[in-house]
């Protein structure tokens, strides 16, 4: 049967694009998706909602100088409709909203051009948007931007975002008063009288389905009530337009049924990931395209085969990036981009005399900045890959521009930054050769706790309170995503705080995953002091030792370090750090911090020693620190010549 060409039908209030597989209907000129007809279902989107509350781009913005991560919520409605491409192979339409000074204080000072593309023979549609701030416009903060689709609750009951993170989901009605009981924050609800009794006693919280950018390429829903079964999937083929790098966490799909494509957010990072634009600062960025993929079962297929098919389609989309068909000149094609390749090695003389290939390192290009600045970069584009077992890497299809090359290597602390700026021009092939990362190191390891991988997942994560279970995460590697784990600390340590003894304790069993506050009464909490006890056979009191503390997440917290006497003034204090909120939001990491504390030998003694780690801030159950890795180094044992050679690599 011949593949039907794409047809565009324009009416006064609606625009409909039909390729014979699906019909996509949008408000004219708003550019809000009101209908998706597919496989005999007249609309996959929630027909009980108003037309402007089904499928839309939105943002949260605020005026410059406003602190925090909140602001005005704006469902972006176009004011002008235009046909960009119209032929049998492709229809691309544009819905624009332009800003002028009469809207100052009412609308975010951006020109926004939302695009939708339907291709011949394609079971889905693409959408992207171009945001532009002109130089002479006022400043603003942009706390969030995303796409949201709200599906029919009578049809879409099964959600999937990973092979081991998928399930039948509660109804939105189950979260309402009478069926659901709000917990410590509005997003978390205990299901006490759900429509489907099997869900009774479970917790529903959208943050339990968050995901690192690097792992969030396809997620969505399956309609199992109809035969054949139908799938609705959000496919993100590239992370170049997402802020914060590969391990930034964002929301995916959750009860609604809702599916999101989040491009910019402060979740798991706080205000550091809110871009702040000044008056006089010109800016333009393309978000997307992303692909909304629709599929259905054939005779005899299991409904869950749609998830397997969606993963295969995701791979096809990733391999097709950058797409050839978007019509905007602001989206460069492959031949207008450049590539960078090289090899990353690690030089740590206390681990090996030879340079070590950086196996599985994250390496990428991000806008120029300081060492590690990529994790807080949120205005422009980033391009990341992982090195192979021998440390080789290839970063393809980089947009033209000026960048720094950044990296971090699991198994080693700190961040790498290539000394020279890299300028990408169309068609450029840049070979940087062998790069050598020298991680922070002063002397031999006396002891260490954890694994330097920017996560607290290797530490002890308790079982949840049986009253607050999400069945997906029972006997699951992501057990940290259960609700209420912060309360388990006070149950395990009701009076005395954690004590870890080097040589006998096991960080997998004896190091709680987060140094949280202890609840002592209703809405009353106290700070905590953890101890690391260790023996030294001898001490060089005239030399300096080094304590390395890598932190995977911090929330309105402070790290104080004392040596052997908890009553003395802290040897080190971080001051107030972090707004990740990863403890409350079931993340096992947020922003990365590394502190290198000089410990004078005169503070240590031969025999038994204790390091005290205090987190004194205590107004909330969610304040605390997740450690990544802790190491005590002895004085350097290298000769002065070896030190010189090592430092000049």
Residue 226: pLDDT band (50, 70, 90) is confident
- Integer Cα distance of 541 and 535 in angstroms: 15
Q: In the predicted model, what is the mean pLDDT of residues 285-310?
A: 96
Predicted confidence (pLDDT) at residue 639 exceeds the cutoff of 90: no
Q: Which residue has the tokens 């990296």?
A: 407
pLDDT of residue 120: 98
Predicted confidence (pLDDT) at residue 649 exceeds the cutoff of 70: no
Q: Go through 491-527 and write b for each residue having 16 or more CB atoms within 10 A of its CB, e for each that does not.
A: eeeeeebbebebeebebeeebbbbbbbbbeeeeebeb
- Integer Cα distance of 137 and 281 in angstroms: 8
pLDDT of residue 638: 59
pLDDT of residue 290: 98
The structural domains of the chain, ordered by start, are 7-320 (2.70.98.10), 334-437 (2.60.40.1120), 445-633 (2.60.120.260)
Q: In the predicted model, what is the mean pLDDT of residues 623-643?
A: 82
Percent of the chain with pLDDT over 90: 95
What digits encode the pLDDT tens for the residues 151-184? 999 999 999 999 999 999 999 999 999 999 999 9
pLDDT of residue 647: 36
pLDDT of residue 641: 43
Pairing outcome for strands 249-250 and 211-212: antiparallel
Q: In the predicted model, what is the mean pLDDT of residues 363-391?
A: 98
Mean pLDDT in the chain? 96
Predicted confidence (pLDDT) at residue 452 exceeds the cutoff of 50: yes
Measured CA distances, 276 to 270, 272, 281, 473 (Å): 13, 10, 10, 37
Measured CA distances, 29 to 52, 96, 330 (Å): 12, 8, 22
Assess contact for 266 and 232: CB atoms under 8 A: no
Q: CB under 8 Å to 335, separation ≥6 — which residues? A: 426, 427
Predicted confidence (pLDDT) at residue 427 exceeds the cutoff of 70: yes
Q: Where are the beta strands (DSSP E) in 265-376?
A: 276-277, 283-296, 338-346, 356-357, 362-366
pLDDT of residue 1: 56
> Angle CA(609)–CA(610)–CA(612) in degrees, nearest 5?
160
- Integer Cα distance of 247 and 245 in angstroms: 6
User: What does 6-47 look like in DSSP terms, one character per residue?
Assistant: PEEEE-SSEEEEE-SSEEEEEETTT--EEEEEETTBS-SB-T
Question: Burial of 7 by CB count in 10 Å (0-12 exposed, 13-18 middle, 19+ buried)?
Answer: middle
pLDDT of residue 227: 86
- Side-chain-side CA neighbours of residue 458 (13 Å): 15
Single out the residue of 507, 408, 531 nearest to residue 457, CA to CA: 507
Q: CA Rg, the chain, in Å? A: 26
Q: How far from chain centre, in Å, is Cα 221?
A: 21
Assess contact for 634 and 443: CB atoms under 8 A: yes
Assess contact for 518 and 489: CB atoms under 8 A: yes
pLDDT of residue 2: 65
Predicted confidence (pLDDT) at residue 272 exceeds the cutoff of 90: yes
Q: In the predicted model, what is the mean pLDDT of residues 7-17?
A: 97
Question: Burial of 649 by CB count in 10 Å (0-12 exposed, 13-18 middle, 19+ buried)?
Answer: exposed
Pairing outcome for strands 429-437 and 338-346: parallel
Residue 106: CB atoms within 10 Å:
9
Helix (H) or strand (E) holding 114: strand 111-119
Residue 642: pLDDT band (50, 70, 90) is very low
pLDDT of residue 644: 33
For the chain, the distance separating the N- and C-terminal CA atoms, rounded to the nearest angstrom, is: 65
Residue 643: pLDDT band (50, 70, 90) is very low
- Integer Cα distance of 95 and 370 in angstroms: 38
Q: Is the peptide bond before 244 cis (omega within 30 degrees of 0)?
A: no
- Integer Cα distance of 126 and 85 in angstroms: 14
Q: Which of the listed ranges 66-70, 315-319, 634-638 does the model predict with the highest average pLDDT?
A: 315-319
- Integer Cα distance of 499 and 477 in angstroms: 25
pLDDT of residue 302: 95
Q: What percent helix, strand, coil does the chain show, rounded to 5? A: 10, 40, 45
Q: Lowest mean pLDDT of 70-74, 170-174, 522-526, 619-623, name the range.
A: 522-526
CA dihedral sign, ordered 498, 499, 504, 507: positive
- Integer Cα distance of 165 and 158 in angstroms: 11
- Integer Cα distance of 31 and 11 in angstroms: 13
The tokens describing 334, both together, are 């492959």
Assess contact for 380 and 367: CB atoms under 8 A: yes
- Integer Cα distance of 63 and 328 in angstroms: 29
Residue 368: CB atoms within 10 Å:
13
């Amino acid at each position: 049967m011949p593949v039907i060409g794409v047809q565009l039908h324009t009416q006064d209030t609606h625009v409909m694009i039909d390729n014979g597989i699906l019909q996509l209907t949008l408000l004219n000129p708003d550019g809000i998706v009101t209908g998706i007809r597919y496989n005999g279902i007249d609309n996959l989107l929630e027909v009980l909602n108003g037309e402007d509350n089904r499928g839309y781009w939105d943002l949260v913005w605020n005026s410059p100088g406003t602190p925090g991560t909140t602001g005005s919520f704006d469902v972006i409605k176009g004011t002008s409709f235009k046909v960009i491409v119209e032929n049998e192979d492709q229809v691309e339409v544009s819905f624009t909203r332009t800003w002028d000074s009469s809207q100052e204080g009412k609308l975010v000072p951006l020109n926004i051009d939302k695009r939708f593309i339907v291709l011949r023979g394609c079971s889905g549609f693409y959408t992207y948007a171009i945001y532009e701030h002109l130089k002479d416009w006022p400043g603003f903060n942009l706390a969030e931007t995303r796409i949201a689709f709200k599906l029919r609750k009578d049809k879409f009951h099964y959600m999937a975002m990973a092979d081991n993170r998928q399930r039948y989901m509660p109804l939105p009605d189950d979260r309402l008063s009478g069926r659901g009981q709000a917990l410590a924050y509005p997003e978390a609800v205990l299901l006490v009288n759900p429509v489907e009794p099997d869900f009774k006693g479970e917790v529903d919280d959208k943050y339990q389905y968050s995901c690192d950018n690097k792992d969030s390429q396809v997620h969505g829903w399956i309609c199992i009530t109809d035969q054949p079964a139908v799938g609705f999937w959000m496919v993100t083929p590239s992370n170049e337009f997402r802020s914060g790098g590969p391990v930034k966490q964002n929301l995916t799909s959750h009860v609604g049924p809702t599916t999101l494509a989040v491009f910019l957010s402060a979740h798991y990072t706080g205000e550091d990931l809110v871009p702040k634009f000044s008056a006089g600062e010109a800016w333009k960025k393309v978000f997307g395209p992303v692909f909304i993929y629709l599929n259905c079962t054939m005779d005899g297929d299991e409904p869950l085969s749609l998830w397997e098919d969606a993963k295969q389609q995701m791979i096809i989309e990733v391999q097709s990036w950058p797409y050839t068909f978007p019509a905007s000149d602001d989206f460069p094609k492959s031949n207008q981009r450049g590539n960078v390749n090289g090899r990353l090695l690690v030089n740590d003389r206390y681990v090996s005399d030879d340079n070590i290939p950086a196996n599985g390192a994250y390496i990428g290009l991000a806008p120029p900045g300081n060492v590690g600045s990529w994790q807080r970069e949120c205005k422009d584009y980033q391009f990341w890959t992982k090195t192979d077992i021998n440390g080789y890497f290839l970063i393809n299809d980089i947009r033209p521009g000026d960048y720094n090359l950044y990296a971090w290597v699991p198994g080693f602390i700190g961040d790498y930054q290539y000394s020279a700026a890299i300028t990408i021009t169309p068609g450029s092939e840049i070979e940087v050769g062998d790069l050598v990362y020298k991680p922070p190191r002063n002397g031999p390891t006396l002891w260490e706790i954890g694994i330097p991988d920017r996560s607290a997942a290797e530490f002890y994560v308790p079982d949840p309170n049986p009253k607050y279970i999400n069945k997906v995460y029972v006997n699951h590697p992501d057990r940290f995503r259960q609700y209420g784990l912060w309360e388990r600390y006070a149950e395990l340590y009701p009076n005395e705080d954690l004590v870890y003894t080097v040589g006998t304790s096991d960080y997998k069993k004896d190091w709680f995953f987060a140094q949280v506050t202890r609840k002592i009464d209703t809405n009353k909490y106290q700070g905590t002091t953890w101890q690391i006890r260790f023996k030294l056979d001898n001490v060089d009191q005239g030399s300096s030792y080094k304590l390395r503390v890598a932190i995977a997440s911090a929330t309105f917290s402070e790290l104080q370090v004392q040596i052997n006497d908890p009553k003395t003034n802290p040897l080190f204090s971080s001051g107030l750090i972090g707004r990740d909120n990863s403890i409350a939001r079931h993340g096992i990491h947020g922003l990365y911090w590394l502190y290198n504390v000089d410990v004078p030998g005169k503070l240590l003694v031969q025999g038994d020693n204790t390091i005290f780690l205090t987190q004194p801030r205590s107004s909330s159950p969610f304040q605390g620190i997740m450690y990544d890795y802790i190491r005590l180094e002895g004085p350097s044992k290298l000769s002065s010549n070896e030190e010189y050679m090592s430092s000049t690599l």
